[in-house]
């Protein structure tokens, strides 16, 4: 008898026998399997006769040992398949066929395992599946292999859909259907460890990081942080997101510092405050809370707004065209205070008290202008001081203890009419002499020097103190100024009739400038030593006074304001709010002046 096995396969619903000839369970292949990318496999024709059975068994065994399973009629599976068809009870043929199927399935699994490194291996797995379907469609091992192949196909399709969604920008971090991450995670569920899916998930993470980077490039660090927070959920154990955070944090620092530097440079240019504020606005939007560079630029803008290129408390001098430098100036802070005295204090001319605010700081000379400083002005100009022109001034008379008119006394004289040292405050100068000195300083330095307004003087005198006196309440602390004190004694033994009890400053008459302690803003002798001319015309009250800190002037006014008690003033005249009017041409041993400079 002879049998030719060719181009046939057992129907999936037909009984089948395993290698030992026993019946195997019938398994139905689902109809929704993926369509195979290879055509159905047809078993090559093999003629089996009683005479060639042994020869064919030997050929089949050798083919199997060499791994030749199904390429042609001389390979193991076609041979064993024909032998089993010839004699279904042939134990040798059944065992060989069973071994061939196991080798076939192993080859298919090897092809599936190679899928990550060789995409063509999937076709090889399908070719093996086609053989398996043709020769043993109901075999349990074959069915399980086909299921594994189906899952690989589904994973590949999920990967393909994921890549399409990724390219379209549909990342789907929230688990949305039809989005990249959803497809890639589905692929991993179907095929754990799938390299293509893992690469797709990494690509989703990279896309989110790239979105964050683009947002950071637009200075939108809020969005950048949000994108990174989303990206961190894609691969929680991967370092990529934290690395990106580090890069963007450094980018942010560099960007913020660059804005600060640009803002600082703008402040060095005339009118650059607005540009600096624009840089600061960007910094406030992008910098983290508490950023030191942002705080630094904000403070510098605030300083520039209120002080130009200076800082509160800074001491400086200006160079003069004629050589040398001008008087030492102290930058006093901007701010607000209440000017004048309340109803229970002082005199009517000091009221009504009012609030005044200075939006910009100014510089004020640390001390009264000295004889030496005034001498330079007199030598450099043709100015004729008031006392020099009329030949006299008011000086102190030790014998009578009074201020009296004395001839040949002028700005070069001390309080008794003797030649004055250069470090003494200049006396015997009129308000017009003081204004002329300030105008000369302005011309020499190119900056605006002037007499302080009355408001500026009281603001600087108080230096933030709201008390009755510049130091607060009660008697003055020791060595803070040249006042009338109960412990003071004149050269002839005189004492003050109205003085601070127990206070002594070691001087009778003006002392050299800077002898006593400065106030809280670094200014010496704002009260005591000598009273000082200010720019305002005298008015007998503050009614209708300007609401700002500017001088209150009237054209052609003949009386000016004097502020700050002198070495001979009663304690009542040492109050912060004390003020007095004096003829602008008056010269005396009690009055000097200091200057301010706009900044």
Under DSSP, the state recorded for 514 is T
Phi-psi bin for 578: left (phi > 0), alpha (psi -120 to 50), beta?
Answer: beta
Confidence of residue 78 (pLDDT cuts 50, 70, 90): very high
The yes-or-no verdict on residue 472 having pLDDT over 90 is yes
Tokens of 20: 């030992």
In order of 396, 401, 494, the CA distances from 489 in angstroms are 14, 12, 5
CA atoms within 13 A on the CB side of 487: 10
Residues above pLDDT 90, as percent of the chain: 90
Residues 33, 37: Cα–Cα separation, whole Å: 12
Residue 471 has which token pair?
């130091």
Q: Is the pLDDT of residue 15 over 90?
A: no
DSSP code per residue over 535-590: EEEP-SS-TT--SSSS----TT--EEEEES--TT--GGGGSTT-EEEEETT--BTT
Residue-level pLDDT at 4: 53
Is residue 13 pLDDT above 90, yes or no? no
What was the pLDDT predicted at 33? 40
pLDDT reading at 380 higher than 50: yes
Q: Who contacts 300 (Cβ-Cβ below 8 Å, separation ≥6)?
A: 263, 264, 267, 276
pLDDT in tens, 325-364: 999 999 999 999 999 999 888 999 999 999 999 999 999 9
Is pLDDT of 26 > 90? no
Res 119: pLDDT: 85
Helix (H) or strand (E) holding 406: strand 402-407
- 391, 556 in Cβ contact below 8 A? no
Angle made by CA atoms 579, 582, 584, in degrees to the nearest 5: 130
Contact residues for 346 (Cβ-Cβ < 8 A; gap 6+): 340, 575, 577, 578
What is the rounded CA–CA span in Å between residue 533 and residue 526? 12
The answer on pLDDT for 21 being more than 70 is: no
The confidence score (pLDDT) of residue 266 equals: 94
Spatial distance between the Cα atoms of 422 and 411, rounded to a whole number of angstroms: 11
Q: How confident is the model at residue 17 (pLDDT cuts 50, 70, 90)?
A: very low
Q: What is the mean pLDDT of residues 543-550?
A: 93
Task: Provide the 10 A C-beta neighbour count for residue 168.
Answer: 11
The per-residue pLDDT for 176 is: 85
Q: Using alpha carbons, select from 76, 67, 83, 103 the residue that is nearest to residue 21.
A: 83
* Average pLDDT value over all residues in the chain: 92
Kindly report the pTM of this predicted structure: 0.68
Question: Among candidates 383, 417, 517, 523, which has minimal Cα distance to 463?
Answer: 523
pLDDT of residue 423 exceeding 90: yes
Q: Return the pLDDT at 35.
A: 59
pLDDT of residue 173: 80
Cα–Cα–Cα angle for 524, 526, 532, rounded to 5 degrees: 120
Question: Which of 60, 149, 153 lies closest to 110, judged by CA?
Answer: 149
d(CA 236, CA 205): 10
- Judged against a pLDDT cut of 50, whether residue 135 lies above it is answered with yes
Instruction: Check residue 236 and give its pLDDT.
Output: 93
DSSP characters over 179-241: SHHHHHHHHHHHSTT-HHHHHHHHHHHHHHHHHHHHHHHTT-HHHHHHHHHHHTTTSTT-SHH
**DSSP symbol at 469:** B
């Amino acid at each position: 008898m002879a049998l030719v096995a060719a181009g046939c396969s057992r129907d999936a619903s037909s009984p089948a026998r395993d290698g030992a000839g026993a019946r195997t369970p019938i398994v139905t292949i689902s109809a929704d399997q993926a369509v195979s990318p290879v055509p159905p496999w047809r078993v090559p024709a093999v003629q089996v006769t009683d005479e060639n059975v042994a020869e064919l068994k030997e050929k089949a065994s050798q083919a199997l040992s060499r791994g030749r399973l199904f390429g042609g009629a001389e390979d193991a599976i076609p041979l064993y398949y024909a032998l089993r068809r010839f004699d279904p009870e042939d134990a040798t043929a059944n065992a060989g066929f069973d071994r061939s199927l196991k080798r076939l399935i192993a080859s298919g699994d090897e092809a599936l395992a190679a899928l990550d490194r060789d995409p063509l291996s999937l076709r090889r797995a399908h070719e093996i599946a086609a053989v398996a379907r043709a020769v043993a469609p109901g075999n349990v091992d074959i069915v399980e292999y086909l299921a594994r192949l189906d899952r690989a196909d589904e994973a590949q399709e999920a990967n393909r859909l994921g890549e399409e969604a990724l390219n379209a920008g549909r990342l789907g971090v929230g688990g949305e259907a039809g989005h990249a991450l959803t497809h890639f995670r589905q692929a991993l569920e179907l095929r754990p460890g799938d390299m293509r899916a893992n690469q797709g998930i990494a690509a989703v993470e990279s896309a989110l990081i790239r979105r964050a980077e683009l947002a950071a490039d637009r200075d939108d660090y809020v969005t950048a942080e949000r994108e990174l927070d989303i990206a961190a959920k894609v691969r929680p154990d991967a370092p990529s997101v934290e690395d990106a955070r580090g890069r963007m944090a450094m980018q942010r620092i560099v960007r913020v510092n660059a804005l600060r530097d640009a803002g600082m440079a703008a402040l060095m240019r005339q009118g650059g405050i607005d540009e600096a504020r624009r840089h600061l606005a960007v910094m406030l939007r992008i910098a983290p809370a508490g950023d030191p560079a942002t705080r630094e630029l904000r403070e510098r803008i605030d300083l520039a707004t209120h002080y130009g290129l200076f800082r509160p408390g800074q001491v400086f001098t200006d160079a003069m065209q004629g050589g040398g430098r001008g008087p030492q100036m102290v930058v006093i802070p901007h701010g607000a205070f209440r000017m004048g005295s309340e109803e229970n204090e002082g005199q009517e001319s000091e009221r009504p008290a009012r609030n005044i605010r200075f939006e910009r700081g100014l510089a004020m000379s640390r001390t009264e202008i000295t004889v030496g400083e005034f001498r330079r002005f007199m030598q450099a100009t043709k100015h004729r001081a008031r006392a020099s022109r009329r030949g006299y001034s008011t000086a102190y008379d030790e014998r009578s203890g009074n201020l009296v008119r004395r001839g040949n006394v002028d700005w070069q004289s001390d309080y008794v009419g003797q030649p004055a040292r250069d470090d003494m405050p200049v006396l015997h100068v009129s308000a017009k002499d003081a204004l002329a000195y300030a105008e000369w300083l302005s011309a020499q330095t190119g900056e605006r020097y002037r007499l302080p307004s009355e408001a500026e003087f009281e603001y600087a005198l108080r230096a933030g103190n709201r008390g009755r006196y510049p130091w607060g309440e009660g008697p003055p602390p020791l060595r803070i100024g040249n006042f009338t004190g109960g412990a003071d004694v004149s050269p002839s033994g005189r004492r003050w009739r109205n003085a601070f009890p127990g206070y002594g400053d070691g001087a009778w008459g003006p002392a050299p400038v800077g002898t006593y302690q400065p106030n809280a803003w670094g200014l010496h002798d704002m009260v005591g030593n000598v009273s000082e001319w200010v720019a305002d015309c005298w008015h007998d009250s503050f009614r209708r006074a300007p609401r700002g800190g500017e001088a209150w002037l009237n054209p052609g006014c003949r009386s000016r304001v004097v502020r700050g008690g002198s070495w001979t003033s009663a304690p009542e005249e040492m109050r912060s709010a004390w003020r007095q009017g004096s003829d602008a041409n008056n010269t005396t041993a009690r009055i000097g002046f200091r200057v301010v400079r706009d900044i």
